Chain A
């Protein structure tokens, strides 16, 4: 039990410790990333045997001029705006519920977290059958007099249906994250609030939320980034249809690469998406701020 666990480590030793991760980072992340940057400036076609030619910004121009990409970005924005706040609110509600003393707390937390350990593709397949024309959801709706011909094949319902699945899937994960934040809030703050006669709402908005602000920010940022990159759901459930209503940005670039084989353009599209995500992440960090949480200053 050394008091200073890192005292004896030299830089070289530290590097050695990090080596496995650095090797995999370089091989599986940095190299592909650099290669994608390069490809986005070429006319690389997956089927073409000839060497790709440098085309400058032509790919970026073509993608930005493509109305289908604009539409895909709009669909992605709808997905993000529709699913992220809902996910975070639901996660917060679940976390507040799970933080209360109750019987079988561990089991309750496990159940809430459960959707996060199942593969996205599996969940998407399950929801596909739930939403199927003769599936349980439509049958249930029919018993209360609502008759819908289809869910995933209705232009106005397909995207919300996928979003609902996404919220269901993600809320549990963020609930557990927020729960960890909630449990770190010092109990004496709540005691003091109670003594001062603060109500439940005031306690939530004046103590709990400010205290878990960093966790909240983290959840919001990570969830937004993930939502911007939504793809597997579309790939499994809708393939972009109907009427292209579920073609998101990543689904668009997937089709650009694997149906039109234009890898150069697909790479350009991915960097345009990256720029948008980066800008919005910076905006979120700036708006909510990385200010020190109450727990630190309260010490």
Chain B
């Protein structure tokens, strides 16, 4: 009595198992086919060339520009992918590692020298030659005189000041222009019992700290490396800058960037150093309090203009690109002044790398945005060397140790120098 149903059940189960196994095998085959470069048909008729383009900006902003490029280049279809700032970088690394890199990719300037040194990017010197004069911030895209990435959008950091908090603490509501003025204004506005802090200082987040400290060192005449390429953080100019930076700590909220931006938006920070993205958010929530942006304060009233941090979003062609010529053509199309300005105007957190007459005209008509342009003129970048990725960790660690009271500026920076020296010696 039990035999027949059990046998029937077994047979049914066998068939089901076989089906599942077949489905798995089929899925594995499909996955393998997709992973094999060249095997997968990326759609369209065979003469159509598909350029894969990965970028980080709002899709609605870039898509019309890409469509215009497609229209001007019959036979080319652009497959655009919008990456997020949180995970996009890893996605790029994985794509390059698995030999499935896009044809054109947006990369932050700090990473470009490392990618170029490892051979992950294509030498596009001859294609980029015509662009050299029209764009700023090339340094990170160059290695040994060759071009590996084209600057597209550039960004810098400015001092954000909460005018309400300033006016409560003193009669002078102009953002401080010197180190001493920033310190005394931070002290005056600092009132932690009410949840108000004088200065918003980055801490806890590696890979960010140096962008906030180096402007103080640069403005004081210091730098990471001396003109001969030797570590120079231990110089009196850098030590003095870190000592000053540390003097802000008692009147500071020490937090990560997202928390600092949130605190400033809530009106709980008198000052913080941030990028245009904060200005954009402040503009969207306008009306709660008055705020201003200004250049990062300089050491003394008679010092030259302060040097802020300058970064660039660059366009690069990975070595594994299948249509490098079309990719470069797309890059040249996108970095064009009017197109880049369109993105800059909408995103507010960046400026076009092509500061042409139309860009200058627009910034002249928008004085609140022009501060970024003025700051960018004197801004500097960290050394454009592949070792920077490791060097900045040593610098960040030293800055953080000082901010948390674990080390003295002179000793911490001397340690950073010897770590950087060891990193450079490894080459």
Residues in chain A within 8 A of chain B (CB atoms)? 1-3, 8-9, 13, 16-17, 19-20, 23-24, 27, 45-50, 132-134, 147, 149-150, 152-153, 155, 158, 238-244, 258-261, 263
A254 to chain B, nearest CB (A): 9
**Which residues on the B side are within 8 Å of A241 (C-beta)?**
203-206, 256, 400
The residue from A23, A49, A243 contacting B21, defined by CB atoms under 8 A apart: A23
Name 10 A/B residue pairs within 8 A (Cβ), A-sorted: A23-B25, A46-B93, A46-B94, A47-B115, A49-B118, A240-B206, A241-B206, A241-B400, A242-B400, A259-B207
Interface mask (B94-121 → A, CB under 8 Å = 1, otherwise 0) = 1011000000000000000011001110
Instruction: Determine whether B13 belongs to the interface, using a CB cutoff of 8 Å to chain A.
Output: yes
Q: Decide if B389 touches A259 in the complex (CB within 8 Å).
A: yes
Q: Would you call B2 an interface residue if the criterion is a C-beta within 8 Å of the partner chain's C-beta atoms?
A: yes
Residue of B at shortest CB range from A245?
B204
Residues in B lying within 8 Å of A, measured CB to CB? 2, 6-7, 10, 13-14, 17-18, 20-21, 23-25, 28, 89-90, 93-94, 96-97, 114-115, 118-120, 192-193, 195, 203-207, 253-256, 259, 262-263, 266, 268, 319-320, 389-390, 397, 400-401, 404, 406
Shortest CB-to-CB span from B143 to chain A, Å, is: 14
Knowing A46-B96, A47-B119, say if A243 contacts B404 (CB, 8 Å). Answer: yes
Contacts of B195 in A (CB 8 A): 134
Question: Once the chains bind, are A49 and B119 in contact (CB under 8 Å)?
Answer: yes
A259 contact set on B, CB distance < 8 A: 207, 389
| A242 and B17 alpha carbons, distance in the complex (Å) | 51
Whether A242 contacts B118 by the Cβ 8 Å rule is no
Nearest Cβ on chain B to A132's Cβ, whole angstroms: 6
State which of A2, A19, A47, A133 has its C-beta within 8 Å of the C-beta of B118. A47
Given A1-B2, A49-B119: A150 and B255 within 8 A (CB)? yes
A8 in complex: contacting residue of B6, B21, B266, CB < 8 Å: B6
Q: Decide: A263 and B97 in contact? CB cutoff 8 A.
A: yes
- CB contacts (< 8 Å) of B10 on chain A: these are 8-9, 13
Closest 4 CB pairs of A and B: A242-B204, A47-B118, A241-B204, A46-B97
B259 and A132 contacting across the interface, CB-CB below 8 Å = yes
Q: A-B contact count, CB below 8 Å?
A: 119
A19 to chain B, nearest CB (A): 4
Is B389 in contact with A133, judged by CB distance below 8 angstroms?
no
Contact of A2 with B404 in the complex, beta carbons under 8 Å: no
Interface pair A19/B119, CB less than 8 Å apart: no
* Beta-carbon contact of A260 and B389 below 8 Å: yes
Contacts of A19 in B (CB 8 A): 17, 20-21, 24
Q: Is the Cβ of A149 less than 8 Å from the Cβ of B192?
A: yes
Evaluate contact between A134 and B263: CB separation under 8 angstroms.
yes
Give every chain A residue within 8 A of B256 (Cβ-Cβ).
152-153, 239, 241
Given contact pairs A46-B96, A258-B93, A149 touches B320 in the complex (Cβ within 8 A): no
Q: Chain A: which residue is nearest B117 at the CB level?
A: A47
With the chains together, A27 CA to B25 CA distance in Å?
A: 10
A20 near B24: Cβ-Cβ < 8 Å:
yes
Residue pair A149, B253 in contact (C-beta under 8 Å): yes
Shortest Cβ distance from residue B110 to the other chain A in the assembled complex, whole angstroms: 11
Is the Cβ of A243 less than 8 Å from the Cβ of B400? yes
* Minimum C-beta distance from A222 to chain B (A): 27
The answer to whether B390 and A260 touch across the interface, beta carbons within 8 angstroms, is yes
Beta-carbon contact of B406 and A243 below 8 Å? yes
